[in-house]
Amino acid sequence: MVITDVLERNAKLYPHDIALVEVNPENRPDPDLTWTEFSLIESVPGKSFRREMTWKSFDTRANRFANLLFTRGVKKGDKVAILLMNCLEWLPIYFGILKTGAIAVPMNYRYSSEEIKYCAELADVSVLVFGPEFIDRMNNIFMDLPQVNDYFFVGEEFDKPDYADSYNLVHYCSSVAPAVELTEEDNAAIYFSSGTTGFPKAILHSHCALINSCRTEQHHHGQTKDDVFLCIPPLYHTGAKMHWFGSLLSGSKAVILRGVTPLEIIRTISEEKATIVWLLVPWAQDILDAIDRGEIEISKYRLSQWRLMHIGAQPVPPSLIKRWKKVFPNHDYDTNYGLSESIGPGCVHLGIENIDKVGAIGVPGYLWEAGIVRPDGTPVEGEEVGELIVKGPGVMKCYYKNPEATAEILKDGWLYTGDMAKYDKDGFIYLVDRKKDVIITGGENIYPVQIEDYLRKNDKIKDVAVIGLPDNRLGEIAAAIIELKPEYTSSEEEINEFCKGLPRYKRPRKIIFAEVPRNPTGKIEKPKLRRIYCGQSLVEAQTTR
């Protein structure tokens, strides 16, 4: 079985049941009214308050997009990129690509023009689907991507660039499922990851990884037909989509929320009767803070059906979960650990029955194995710290076109995560620190070298090092330790102004003027900087990446 078979099964079993809902709080006509007071008019993504789609419509749209791709010569093994904000069209486009036998290539919507170009070239993308938010970025690079034969624009016709065709052409295409034979061993998707250098690697996954992530997720969280999953994180990321896969397998409804304010999260949970919500640490903290300030009176909302809150994508402070349980004592809590190389969350899993182990990332997930090894590959003993390794059906096939990097991380079927961990006396796994220097802030990876390289363009700066500092809300923030040239002075305000040339999420949140220590080989001594400015290991709780 492949994952497109599950969609086709749902379309036959539950044709008229709602599969997907898109909620856009910005378009709520009156903040004191609910969606039930408005007609359900399906229009352009991002323009309506609420849109919905049945399982039959979901499958039909996927078939039509697949057949549209066929008219452009797309064949099995080709790569089709998706560059969209979360919207109702996202998943039918994804499944349409898979139905052709082509490889879906989701892209981070925060990518700059150059990053889009780099990833499109790296993954050999021949078709690119994008939305109105990316027009300016695409205008900058489309002439520099000769290997991209076709562009499809998901948006209003009058916004469409001349070099792109309208996604609305799907309405003129056949709704018959493509006659393409797929097996679990066929390639299915490429996701992007990055090491501390910040240069993305293309992670190639098979259909086996996708279908088994469905099974792992449903086994962990027990989704039934009656559940409603609230999806807030971006769909380009494995975390959001692979948690939704549990809803796919159970044929239950999912709600895609465009917006993350505490009030809108709570209102949407109430209005859509959500039962499962996956949050990032900042969102959970913001919800609790808003409740404490009296901005949200939870008694006004229908929340009794909400059964599970789970968190991932960054360190999770145990104190946050204790605080959450005081406000929502009837919620089950869970966390999952994973990497894009392991098809996202679930290779290590805490389990709702192990609330007393909050602080651990858990034990091997369903269908997975895990171990902790020394540098020579031998297993650790007792509470000795070593590198976490995992093995299972969701391990990537390879880094596409990068055999050297593949060999470094895949050894005898085991995926070497680069995260340092240890067991407790009961066999639960705790992360101790990260081997890599990636900073995870609000669930997003920040690569220090990119910020360092940018800051070094400032004539006043002699040397710079960027590290992560613990932050109660975001998990970590980027801090820049800046060593000025002797003849210059500067201020935090001046550096912050200079950093406006960086995307907002990459700008350092803290500026420290100090000497940057380097070892005899010229490498920055970041462990020393962490000891100075953190006073502790950066990771004392769970991390999902």
**Closest by CA position to 113, among listed 123, 103, 121:** 121
Phi and psi at 519, nearest 5°, equal -85, 180
Q: List pLDDT tens digits, range 386-406.
A: 899 999 999 999 999 999 999
The reply to whether the predicted model has a pTM over 0.85 is no
Mean pLDDT over each residue of the chain, to the nearest integer: 89
Is the pLDDT confidence value at 487 over 90?
A: no
The confidence score (pLDDT) of residue 200 equals 84
Is the pLDDT confidence value at 167 over 70?
A: yes
pLDDT confidence of 327, banded at 50, 70, 90?
very high
The confidence score (pLDDT) of residue 535 equals 60
Determine the Cα angle at 72 with ends 69 and 78, to 5°: 65
Query: Quick one: three-class SS letters along 56-121?
Result: HHHHHHHHHHHHHHHHCCCCCCCEEEEECCCCCCHHHHHHHHHHCCCEEEECCCCCCHHHHHHHHH
10 Å Cβ neighbour count for 493?
Answer: 9
| 8-state DSSP, 403 | H
Residues ≥6 apart with Cβ < 8 Å to 151: 127, 128, 129, 130, 138, 142, 161, 163, 164, 165
Helix (H) or strand (E) segment spanning residue 129 = strand 125-130
Is the pLDDT confidence value at 81 over 50?
A: yes
Q: Across residues 475-494, what is the average pLDDT?
A: 92
**Closest by CA position to 6, among listed 217, 169, 234, 232:** 217
Is the pLDDT confidence value at 509 over 60?
A: yes
CB 227 within 8 A of CB 218: no
What the chain holds in terms of domains, given with CATH numbers, is 3-259 (3.40.50.12780), 331-434 (2.30.38.10), 440-533 (3.30.300.30)
Determine the Cα angle at 420 with ends 418 and 426, to 5°: 130
Phi and psi at 236, nearest 5°, equal -70, -20
State the Cα–Cα distance between residues 435 and 203, nearest whole angstrom.
20
Q: How far is CA 264 from CA 44, 268, 324, in A?
A: 21, 6, 18
The confidence score (pLDDT) of residue 540 equals 33
pLDDT confidence of 359, banded at 50, 70, 90?
confident
Is the pLDDT confidence value at 545 over 50?
A: no
**Would you put residue 64 in left (φ > 0), alpha (ψ -120 to 50) or beta?**
alpha
Is the pLDDT confidence value at 536 over 60?
A: no
State the Cα–Cα distance between residues 435 and 415, nearest whole angstrom.
14
Q: List pLDDT tens digits, range 11-54.
A: 999 999 999 999 998 887 765 555 444 444 445 566 788 999 99
The confidence score (pLDDT) of residue 40 equals 44
Q: List pLDDT tens digits, range 93-151.
A: 999 999 999 999 999 998 899 999 999 999 999 999 999 999 999 999 999 999 999 99
**Closest by CA position to 252, among listed 58, 113, 50:** 58
CA atoms within 13 A on the CB side of 154: 24
Least confident of 26-30, 196-200, 499-503: 196-200
pLDDT confidence of 195, banded at 50, 70, 90?
very low
State the Cα–Cα distance between residues 419 and 433, nearest whole angstrom.
6
Name which residue leads in pLDDT, 457 or 125.
Answer: 125
Name which residue leads in pLDDT, 355 or 150.
Answer: 150
State the Cα–Cα distance between residues 413 and 393, nearest whole angstrom.
10
